């Protein structure tokens, strides 16, 4: 499986100089872009086999397990897209400002089941479960396919210790975790004339 769990379990990070951060296959990057395209949406991206599997989420993720958010599976993006912020010029595909709304590492929870699935197997099966370690979002999220033809999925916060129906980071924490900039700042940086 390539997991470092056993390695980490046997060692105390405070007592040995050995490396701990090593990237296991179950410990990969995620990023959520806020994208002010024709209509504002959030692009939820998970590193899978060296690319970013991506879903466009019109209303963005919720921290409330009772809330289901439509997520449209879109094309894979290159891994280095995870760091992208800027303004896509008018007339180009996806024109508009993009910021890194949240980012961090995730764990594949489907890989920890009795019959483990890799991330690509989970995507194929239409049922992804990941544990996010972001700055804004933490804990389990499920992405479940509801319409194969339209490639429509639902993004739902799993009911765990990180679930919180009172939080609403989409509206209370609008800025980039990478630069501190908002969508409006991005346009201003791009073209400072009023
Ligand atoms: Mn987008």
What tens digit of pLDDT does each residue of 25-54 get? 446 999 999 999 999 999 999 999 989 999
The pLDDT of residue 23: 45
Residue 23 alpha carbon to ligand 1 centre in Å: 27
Q: Return left, alpha or beta for 96; rule: phi > 0 is left, psi -120 to 50 is alpha, else beta.
A: left
> CB of 108 within 8 A of CB of 24?
no
pTM of the model: 0.85
Residue 168 alpha carbon to ligand 1 centre in Å: 21
The pLDDT of residue 190: 83
The pLDDT of residue 191: 79
Distances (CA, A) of 37 to 56, 71, 106, 189: 11, 16, 26, 17
Residue 42 alpha carbon to ligand 1 centre in Å: 7
pLDDT at 159 over 60: yes
DSSP 8-state symbol, 112: G
The pLDDT of residue 2: 42
The count of other CB atoms within 10 Å of the CB of residue 131 is 19
Residue 65 alpha carbon to ligand 1 centre in Å: 24
Residue 44 alpha carbon to ligand 1 centre in Å: 9
Residue 19 alpha carbon to ligand 1 centre in Å: 36
Residue that wins the pLDDT comparison between 93 and 138: 138
Picking from 24-28, 82-86, 163-167, 180-184, which range would have the lowest pLDDT averaged per residue? 24-28
Residue 182 alpha carbon to ligand 1 centre in Å: 16
Q: Which residue has the tokens 């609008």?
A: 174
103-137 pLDDT, tens per residue? Answer: 999 999 999 999 999 999 999 999 999 999 999 99
The pLDDT of residue 36: 97
pLDDT at 139 over 50: yes
Residue 97 alpha carbon to ligand 1 centre in Å: 10
Count the alpha carbons within 13 Å of 101 in the hemisphere toward its beta carbon: 24
For range 76-91, the mean pLDDT: 92
């Amino acid at each position: 499986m390539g997991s470092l769990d056993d390695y980490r379990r046997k060692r105390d990070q405070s007592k040995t100089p050995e490396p701990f951060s090593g990237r296991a296959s179950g410990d990969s990057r995620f990023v959520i872009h806020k994208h002010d395209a024709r209509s504002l949406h959030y692009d939820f991206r998970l590193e899978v086999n060296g690319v970013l599997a991506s879903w466009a989420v019109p209303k963005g993720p919720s921290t409330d397990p009772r809330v289901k958010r439509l997520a449209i599976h879109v094309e894979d993006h290159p891994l280095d897209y995870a760091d992208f912020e800027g303004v896509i010029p008018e007339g180009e595909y996806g024109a508009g400002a993009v910021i890194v709304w949240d980012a961090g590492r995730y764990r594949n929870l489907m890989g920890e089941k009795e019959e483990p699935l890799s991330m690509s197997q989970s995507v194929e099966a239409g049922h992804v479960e990941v544990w996010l370690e972001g700055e804004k979002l933490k804990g389990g999220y499920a992405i479940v396919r509801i319409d194969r033809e339209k490639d429509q999925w639902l993004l739902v916060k799993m009911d765990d210790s990180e679930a919180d129906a009172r939080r609403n980071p989409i509206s209370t924490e609008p800025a980039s975790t990478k630069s501190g900039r908002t969508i409006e700042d991005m346009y201003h940086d791009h073209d400072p004339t009023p």
